[in-house]
Chains A and B, each alone.
Chain A
Amino acid sequence: MRLLVFALGFGFLLAVPFLTQSIGQPALLTLASRILIYAIAAASLNFILGYGGMVSFGHAAFFGIGAYTVGILFAHHSSAEPLFGLIPGSNQMLITLPAAVLVAGLFAGLIGALSLRTGGVQFIMITLAFAQMLFFFFVSLTPYGAEDGIIIRRTNELFGLNMRDKTVLYYVILAIALVFFLALWRVVNSSFGAVLKGMRQNERRMAAIGFAPYRYKLFAFVLAGMGAGLAGALMANFLRFASPDMMHWTKSGELMIMVILGGVGSFFGPIFGAAAFLILETFLAGWSEHWPLALGLILLVVVMGTKGGISGLFDRFGGRGK
């Protein structure tokens, strides 16, 4: 039964380019690509937030770092000058994506190692502070466009595919998203995932039975940072642009909104949440320039009035409610 639902869902995602073509709305393909990318970012946040109970308010920082890694590597590729005199630039997606994931992971390791010494309100604020620091760092980074951001003139190359074609790019993003979610599925359902969920429920008890919380949480934080970095790298390829705005604190807020709209701690929630948020944003923005007002009201109602977001709703209709 569950497999069938997955197959149907994946079949739908495969068919999206044909659907948008046949109803004459090619712009919707762009929306679908953005949904997939944000779903990766939101799922990585959900991993620490929903499963690990760590309310990180600076997750967009890793998204931005992933994007900037792609941007900076591309800039050095086109100027043919190595970064710091030794790292050559690149426009190969097989190099830039892992590089972005790695760099985001490094930053997450650093930020997480410091932030996880605190907890509660202080953790929320210190992650926010680190994200703001990076934001201001990139705003002042004049060699790479400062606050205007950095333009990536051409999407990265991959196996000689025509990446300028929106449909091809969509399938590339879909394939990467599929790999990401499969990997995430393995992690969430591993013994590591079980320990993490235990930490959220009762950290002291987990410590008492012999799991050092700090190490587990830090590892989860790094994994989440890498996921966001991957999403950021894809976004940079998709927009052919990276800018400090990608790591502004409101972006972190948006990622949190996606997580809560979809349902905190549900595996597929972030996909629904990202879809709901971006579709709402697109249509409300087309309807009125005051769309944040409507978005704010909807968000308020969802937060105050519902439990479990969109996937919670599905569960209830499916008779699996608590």
Chain B
Amino acid sequence: MKRSVLAAVAALSLLAAAPANAQTLKWAAPGDAVSFDPNAQLDSFTQNIQSMVYDTLVRRNRQLQIEPSLATSWEIVAPDRWRFKLRQGVKFHDGQPFTADDVVATVMRTIDPGSRNKGNLATVKTAEKVDDQTVDFVLTGPYPLLLNDLTGIFVMSKPWMIQHDSIKPGNTSTGVTTFASTHANGTGPFKLESYEPDARTVMSANEGWWDKPEHNIKRLEFRPIKSDATRVAALLSGEIDMIAAVPLQDIPRVSSTAGVKVVEDPSLRLIFLGFNWKPELQGQPGVKNPLLDVKVRQALWQSLDMDTLQKRIMRGKSRNIATMVAPPVPGYSAEADKPIGYDPAAAKKLLADAGYPNGFKTGLACPNDRYIADEQLCLAIASMWTRVGVQVDLKTESKATYFPRQDRGETDIWMLGWATLPPMDGFSVLSAIFASRKDGFGGANANGMSIPAMDELAKKAAVELDEPKRRAMLAESFKIARDQALFIPLHLQPLAWAMKTNVDMPQFADEYVRPWFAKVN
């Protein structure tokens, strides 16, 4: 801490000496980097901040497609062995050259038992140096998503880690923290100048970056501002150039302010409702679970007026969806995304056919502080179901208690958001949500859903190296989910940033801020 504050003071005095220039970008977001240690956390915003300092072997381009970064090419030499050629002439921020040793050390640190994100590289057994510019990844078996995984693995410098006694990650249980949690030395587009948690993180452009910069930023100052109102005020008062995440209700006011613009896009995060698959209702022990009947699930889906939800609750900012994955993600097909249509009469008929002409009673559980307008959404959904005769016992609670309850499978109908991150692939939905909870699958399938066809698809897709075949399997799983109404997909959450009109910062559906594409005019 002492050092980082000193560095901050030094950086500030330098800034005071330099002429005021337009190439300083100050931006704010509600969260902060939890740590700078790539293996000490799983927070996606923290990883976003780290990605400005650290490079990865492969990265996402402007279209979010995977492209070479620190690795220039790769080949699958055996089903369980991938060979990566590394980029030459790359230097870390401290001047050390980038070599195969750094990649091996990074992999070993990531898969260390103490590493918090070892699950992001779960199929990697080890990494072997072939020569200075070549590394082999040894896997547990055939695995199609290694590149996707590697977009989130930040390459650290081996000599730097040794010098600072950080070759192993910090470990919460043993109480070990490392130098790397408050300092960073990557090869990325920006260098970390100072890190003051909850106050500011300052970075400067890496003049020696191996890639040709598309940005014109000299200095990047990040200021976390948790309170929505204050964050908007900081932009309107001119103290901040850009804020990520504008609250929905403030969008009209912000966009009508001179000198400020709002950029909006649908994000990858898909909000959906899931069901209880156990024989009895959780909320009413002893009562037969009506949700097991496909007609009941279809009736619940058809009785939701998605357009009204989108217009009234989401203020017209969300994108409604009828499949379980967002358009940019592999596995999506427009065919499976046709709206199912709002039809309360048909819903009533389905309920009658299923043996519930007078409806039934069920629980609906939702978080009230995790997703955009989550509580209001559930209130509206509950009232729509009431109109077709389904009585809803709505329970909303804070995310800190909601998610553990949901994960224990103690809910009847529940809400969840899924962004398929970090792999950004439909397999994430198939393996964690569609497949039953066994053999490492079904991490988010807590309510006992078990569809043999899904389990089969998950097992096959997990090892299918032929991409068209693999995508066909994913598409099939999404078709089953839709035909059986296994879930009710609602919408893609809107993503809104606001910035001064002289700032040009492209927006990405994965909600990452990528300042290496930003221009300040």
Instruction: Verify that A and B bind, or say they do not.
Output: no
